[in-house]
Amino acid sequence: MTDFYPYFHPAKDIGRINVKSSKLPMLVVGTSNYVRQNYPSLYDRDTYIFFLPTSEAKWRIGLISFRKDGTILSSYSDGVSIQDTILGAFGQVPKELLLTEKLKTWCISCIYRCPKISLRDILHLAPYQQEESA
């Protein structure tokens, strides 16, 4: 992980003002069955997976999980293989986001306004080649 993205923060990453930027987070759709089959302990929460485009030679995935008690948890991972990156994001210890009620409502409404990409498309992304150090 890098210091630039210590965790996925919806207020900074979802609600970007610069809509012309190609680096907007994309909501990964079609993840309900994937989460239910692979992470049954998370199925009682509303969990959203985000694909975060980057100019670096790595894939980046962020997760936001809404608990029934109103707390929001997030985690983030990056890597050269998309499958390892998804596993890393689910394997991270999520951080609780301290947001006001107004900002929580705003984040939830922004989630559905994000560009969308399907889980099937994400899982077919080719891994980046490891850079050899000279």
102 or 17: which carries more pLDDT confidence?
Answer: 102
The fold adopted by the segment(s) 10-123 is: Double Stranded RNA Binding Domain (3.30.160)
Comparing 12-16, 39-43, 53-57, 117-121, the range with the smallest average pLDDT is 12-16
Q: Per-residue pLDDT averaged across 116-122, rounded?
A: 89
| Pair 23, 123: CB distance under 8 Å | no
What are the tens digits of pLDDT across the range 68-96?
887 888 888 888 888 888 888 888 878 88
- Tokens at 41, concatenated: 């302990």
The contacts of residue 105 (CB under 8 Å, 6+ apart) are: none
- Give the list of residues 6+ apart from residue 125 with CB closer than 8 angstroms, or none: 59, 82
Greater pLDDT, 2 or 20: 20
Query: Over the stretch 5-47, which tens digit does the pLDDT of each residue have?
Result: 334 555 555 444 344 445 678 899 988 888 888 888 877 788 8
